[in-house]
Amino acid sequence: MKKRIGVLLSGRGSNFEALADSVASGRIPDAESAIVISNREGAPGLERAKSRGISTRAIPSKGLERETYDRQVVAVLNEHKVDLVCLAGYMRLLSPFFVSSFPNRILNIHPSLLPSFPGLESQRQALEYGVKFAGCTVHFVDENLDAGPIVLQSVVPVKDDDTEDTLSARILQEEHKIYSEAVRIVLEGRYKIEGRRVMRIT
């Protein structure tokens, strides 16, 4: 049976689209895009999903306690029989309830080489710090911010004339590549976790 992917996003949705393309082309084999959920009603990513014929749901989070909100999201994911949850620009921390509902079945993409520069505006943080290499990370999600065992990372150079926009664009290209690869590894079960280390099984 095909593995069902649920995507959570808050904005643009380019990582969602990269995943959906990989599913459609077979780069992520034996999988299907089950549902895209956003905490923001106007998220452009929702429109992108609709135009591909993928089910979408906006679940506004305003004014709700974290777990109360997460219970609604988890219910929709379960309704759609989701096997793997992919956070793709989803700007919310998950509650312990959410994390324990999908043990080792939630991934996140983050635009820095974690553990450097967690949180918001990571590309700007990297530029301001003056690092010579930046990049992105796909990791399993726990209840902490941008934490959890790392599945894949990709490195890009920081150039002297980079702005936040040019660096973000270079990182984003890598995000789109490694997210699909990480989803493929996880769905195929070709890994084991020892402590914080995710090791590939070939």
Residues that bind ligand GAR (CB under 6 A): 9, 11-15, 45, 88-89, 109-111, 122, 146, 172, 175
Catalytic status, residue 80: no
Q: What is the amino acid identity at position 182?
A: A
Among the listed residues 71, 79, 146, the one whose alpha carbon sits nearest the alpha carbon of residue 107: 146
Q: Which is nearer to ligand GAR, 74 or 167 (CB)?
A: 167
Residue 69 beta carbon to ligand GAR: minimum distance, rounded to whole angstroms: 17
Q: What is the amino acid identity at position 48?
A: R
Residue 202 beta carbon to ligand GAR: minimum distance, rounded to whole angstroms: 27
Q: Which single residue brings its beta carbon nearest to ligand GAR? A: 89
**Given the residues 80, 110, 139, 176, the one annotated as active site:** 110
Q: What is the amino acid identity at position 102?
A: F
Instruction: Tell me the C-alpha distance between 92 and 85, whole Å.
Output: 14
Instruction: Tell me the C-alpha distance between 202 and 195, whole Å.
Output: 20
Evaluated on CA atoms 78, 80, 84, 86, the torsion sign reads negative
Q: Which is nearer to ligand GAR, 142 or 175 (CB)?
A: 175
75-54-51 Cα angle (round to 5): 140
188-136-10 Cα angle (round to 5): 85
The token pair at 150 is 């790392």
Residue 17 beta carbon to ligand GAR: minimum distance, rounded to whole angstroms: 8
Residue 115 beta carbon to ligand GAR: minimum distance, rounded to whole angstroms: 13
Q: Which is nearer to ligand GAR, 164 or 202 (CB)?
A: 164
DSSP state of 197: E
Q: Which is nearer to ligand GAR, 105 or 110 (CB)?
A: 110
Q: Give the residue numbers annotated as catalytic, written as ranges.
A: 110
